[in-house]
């Protein structure tokens, strides 16, 4: 698989998972010039698809499977460790080496934070005059 295809697949998965909104957002999070990233996507400058660029993607988005990014083989995202990252619902069912009481406490804190976020969303909706304020679509 060509690097350009790998990049497009990675971007699509990141966008679908809610890590990025668009290519400009992707470039900004990588701390790269948008025109550089655009050239990488279009294939106009194959040099933009360098190992350094791909290492930056890995450093910025740890949910990306390194093996996929470098070879095009396997799954794009690492899997359950990052499921729910974009929605804020992290899986605390079981984490190897972490006692269950700690996981229960994290889960309880997460629920409190979600209730607070929902309250904030309702207040923002009232302040903005909109019927529904969707935090995910705000970007």
* 85 lies in some domain: no
* Residue 50 in this model has a pLDDT that exceeds 80: yes
Number of domains in the chain: 2
* 67 lies in some domain: yes
| Structural domain boundaries, residue 51 | 3-71
* Residues 7, 62 share a domain: yes
* 14 lies in some domain: yes
Residue with tokens 């698809």: 49
* 105 lies in some domain: yes
State which of 54, 71, 88 marks the end of a domain.
71
Instruction: Give DSSP secondary structure letters for 4-48.
Output: HHHHHHHHHHHHHTTS-SSHHHHHHHHT--HHHHHHHHHTS-GGG
Confidence class of residue 83 from pLDDT cuts 50, 70 and 90?
very low
Tell me the percentage of the chain whose pLDDT exceeds 90: 10
pLDDT (0 to 100) of residue 16: 83
Confidence class of residue 63 from pLDDT cuts 50, 70 and 90?
confident
* Residues 106, 57 share a domain: no
Residue predicted with more confidence, 34 or 43: 34
């Amino acid at each position: 698989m060509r690097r350009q295809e790998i990049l497009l697949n990675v971007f699509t998965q990141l966008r679908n998972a809610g890590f990025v909104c668009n290519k400009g957002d992707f470039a900004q999070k990588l701390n790269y010039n948008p025109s550089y990233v655009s050239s990488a996507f279009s294939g106009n400058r194959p040099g933009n698809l360098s190992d350094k660029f791909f290492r930056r993607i890995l450093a910025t988005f740890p949910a990306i499977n390194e093996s996929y990014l470098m070879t095009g083989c396997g799954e794009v995202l690492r899997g359950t460790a990052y499921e729910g990252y974009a929605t804020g619902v992290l899986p605390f069912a079981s984490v190897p080496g972490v006692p269950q009481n700690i996981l229960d406490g994290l889960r309880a804190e997460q629920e409190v934070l979600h209730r607070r976020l929902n309250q904030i969303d309702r207040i923002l909706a009232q302040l903005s005059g909109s019927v529904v304020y969707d935090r995910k679509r705000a970007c």
